[in-house]
Structure 1
Amino acid sequence: MYILIYVDDILLTGNSSSDINRLLKNLHSRFQMRELGALSQFLGIQSISTTTGVLLHQKLYAQRILERAGMQSAKPVPSSSCCKTILTSKSHEPYENPQLYRHLLGSLQYLTLTRPDIQFVVHSLSQHMHHPLHQHFEGLKRLLRYISGTLHLGLPLDRGPLQLKGFSDADWANNTDDRKSISGYCNYLGNSPISWQVKKQTTVARSSTEAEYRSLAAEAAEVIWLRRLLEDFHTPQTTPTIIYCDNTSAIALANNPIYHARTKHIDVDCHFIRDSIHAKHVTVHHICTDDQTADIFTKSLPINRFKTIISKLTAALPH
């Protein structure tokens, strides 16, 4: 059995109904509590049983965000951001209501728990919370318009082989203000997306190879943590976890046991990925850029490409 406790909310699951009922009876005898039956909602996240597993979504929460913004009747758009728009801090037109901007973005950060398709845009807009400009609020309104048209999307958790795999990508010198790159990764357990991240790199990468290599290192650390967590859940990964990367130079650097003078400018701690490969915890494979799922976490994409990737990360609520 597994018990998830958050303050006074408890989620209980297991593979033996009799043992669960026995534990519930024991808890009722010791504490004042209510039993709400099968899982339908937990911490604002709703759950729907499907033929293949469960679908987690935050439709009601997203609707409340739209109501706070006064955009519940907004005209939907097909993608969360525009490829031609570049967010910067160099404009001189501050948004007159920065509290509203911060409030909406803070709420959207919680929505990313079941909506990986909006993670990149939320990350980008959050970098301007201290001094939002009009162009940033316009980007936020476009994101809200996208959400209003995709309230039916959620996070699918499907049954199947519990094999871990990951995707790693980077966008070199993405930020026009400081020229720092963006790292992005996502991990699947079987066919279910279970973790993802968008993060600006802390230092300026001198090449696309370095940017991709740093992203690979961050993904390797996440994979090793997930492997240890899965062992606690009695689901050990018996083979090295495959990480897919679309940069052949970064893959060669990760697999090369020789520390080249040309890579001395890369922090030494990034090179632990080589130790991870040598210890057979991970293995890095090349993947075509068109099949790189993590692409959605590093940049704004054309509509067709955006829709292709979100179909691999989300699923629609059943009618």
Structure 2
Amino acid sequence: MGSSKPLGKDDLLITGTNKDQIDVLKAQLSSHFHMKDLVAVSYFLGLEVSKSSQEIFVSQQKYTMDLLKEYGVLKCRPYKLPLDPNTKLQADSGTPMTDPELYRRLIAAKHLLRYLLLAPAQRILLANNSAVELKAFCDSDWASCPMTRRSTIGYCILLGDSPVSWKSKKQHVVSRSSTKAEYRSMALTYCEVTWLVSLHKDLGLQDLGPVKLYCDNQAALYIAANLVFHARTKHIEVDCHYVRDQVKDGKVNPCYMNTKSQIADIFTKIVTTDQQAKLLSKLGVLNPNNSKLEGEYKGSQSESQQKSQVKNRRK
């Protein structure tokens, strides 16, 4: 595993596999700036980091606990899903809040906090024994916004079996079909993949090979492979050119994935409780059982069960 050192109030993090070179760099920086060496990283920009010889775990337990205490939900019953699947929020429904500033500060519904109450120490596994390859997953929820009918798109990108980038957002324009919404999601994912490949080359990983992009929309995959434009794709022609150029250059390899196995589903829509647990497992998200939270949910797994689950999550 590499060595990581945060320095000073500017939250500078230095990482690498050669401790001597890290020490040289720190000495050079210290000759120009006043710095304090905080030794091995354990807390960085709100992220809690713990590591062993085989893996690194990243969580936001302290930040989560602070939110739960501030808004008085510690003794509430936890929820198993981040949002109510039967609720569709609209701007012109419900009762206006007397103090909207409270919502602006929180930027989340109370339902979401009660979901976080289920596992405030939930963490991401970054393992060093998985394959050095990038895999991308993209998805869309077509016309999901009841007010604008804009689609929600999302993606996640894994390095080996560890998540390194993910995003969920509402599209800026309305897509006239689920295929076009999915294709725009593919284009957005390719942009992120391009940046990550460049970043990894700077870090010394030169030969990552074509990045597999998994999509559950057959029509979108056909458009990526079909070199003939037609009227149906004219208004997404820029995205089509960009995606096809990436495919033609051998930088990406679009692949079909069954909807039930699509990891990116968790970023675009509310899934069932069982599917939520399955997708979190595939993402390497674990729930440690060492939390001392008052009234916490008692269904967390043992550490050995979690590691076994991680090993089998790609099966």
**TM-score category (smaller protein):** 0.7 to 0.9
State whether structure 2 residue 156 is matched by structure 1 residue 154.
no
What residue is the counterpart of 1:64 in the other structure?
66
**Cα distance change of structure 1 residues 39 and 2 upon mapping to structure 2, 3 Å threshold:** closer
2:110 counterpart residue number: 141
Could you say what secondary structure the match of 2:235 adopts?
coil
Length-normalised TM-score, structure 2? 0.84
Q: Which amino acid aligns with 2:64?
A: A
| Aligned equivalent of 2:144 | 174
Which AA in structure 1 matches 2:22? I
CA distance in 2, matches of 1:289, 1:302: 13
The residue identity in structure 2 corresponding to 1:186 is: C
- Deviation (angstroms), 1:27: 4.7
Residue 192 of structure 2 is matched in structure 1 by 222
Q: CA, structure 1 residues 18+142, in 2 after alignment: closer, same or farther (shift >3 Å)? A: same
Match of 2:48 among 37, 46, 49: 46
Q: Between 17-26 and 287-296, report the one with greater CA deviation.
A: 17-26
Q: Which residue of 1 aligns with 2:210?
A: 240
Map 1:52-131 onto structure 2 (within 5 A): 52-105=54-107
Q: 1:216 to 1:25 in 2, by over 3 A?
A: closer
1:20 aligns with 2:19: no
Structure 1 residue corresponding to 2:158, chosen from 188, 197, 215 = 188
Please, which of 258, 268, 286 is the counterpart of residue 315 of structure 1?
A: 286
* Deviation per residue, 1:132-151 (Å, 9 max, x gap): xxxxxxxx111000111111
Match of residue 171 from structure 2:
201
Task: Report the Cα distance in structure 2 between the residues aligned to 1:88 and 1:6, rounded to whole angstroms.
Answer: 45
Q: What is the Cα deviation at residue 104 of structure 1?
A: 1.1
In the alignment, which residue of structure 2 is the partner of 1:212? 182
In structure 1, the partner of 2:12 is: 10
Q: Deviations over 1:130-181 (max 9, x none)?
A: xxxxxxxxxx111000111111211211113220010010111111101111
Deviation at 1:237, TM superposition (A): 3.8
Whichever residue aligns with residue 11 of structure 1, its letter is L
Match of residue 304 from structure 2:
none
Identity across matched positions, percent: 38
SS of the residue aligned with 2:38?
Answer: coil
Give the aligned CA root-mean-square deviation in angstroms.
Answer: 2.1
Does the 8 A contact of 1:188 with 1:194 survive in 2? yes
Distance 1:156 1:289 in 2: 24
Residues in 1 aligned to 2:154 and 2:120: alpha-carbon distance in whole angstroms: 24
1:255 and 2:257 matched: no
Looking at structure 2, the residues matched to 244 and 6 of structure 1 have their Cα atoms a distance apart, in angstroms, of 41
In structure 1, C-alpha distance between the alignment counterparts of 2:267 and 2:217, rounded to whole Å: 16
Do the aligned partners of 2:7 and 2:38 also contact (CA within 8 Å) in 1?
Answer: no
In 2 relative to 1, CA 24–4 (structure 1 residues): closer, same or farther, beyond 3 Å? closer
- Does the C-alpha gap of structure 1 residues 318 and 20 become closer, same or farther in structure 2, counting only changes over 3 Å? farther
Cα offset, 1:48, TM superposition: 0.7
Match of 2:294? Answer: none
Equivalent AA in structure 2 for residue 275 of structure 1? D
Higher helix proportion (structure 1 or 2): 1
Following TM superposition, by how much is the alpha carbon of 1:30 offset from its aligned partner in structure 2, in angstroms?
Answer: 5.2
- 1-structure distance, mates of 2:63, 2:118: 14
Deviation at 1:33, TM superposition (A): 2.9
Once residues 164 and 237 of structure 1 are traced to their aligned partners in structure 2, the CA distance between those partners, rounded to angstroms, is: 11
Deviations 1:113-138 (A, max 9, x none): xxxxxxxxx6xxxxxxxxxxxxxxxx
Counterpart-to-counterpart distance in 1, 2:191 and 2:138:
12
Contact 1:227 1:237 in 2 (8 A): no
Question: 1:245-284: per-residue Cα shift (whole Å, max 9, x none)?
Answer: 0000000001111112222232424431011100111110
Partner SS for 1:66: helix
- Match in the other structure for 2:38: 36
Separation of aligned partners in 2, 1:292 and 1:6: 41
Distance 1:201 1:83, change over 3 A: same
d(CA) in 1 for partners of 2:16 and 2:238? 43
Does the aligned pair in 1 maintain the 2:210–2:250 contact within 8 Å?
yes
- Whether the 8 Å CA contact 1:217–1:271 is kept in 2: the answer is no
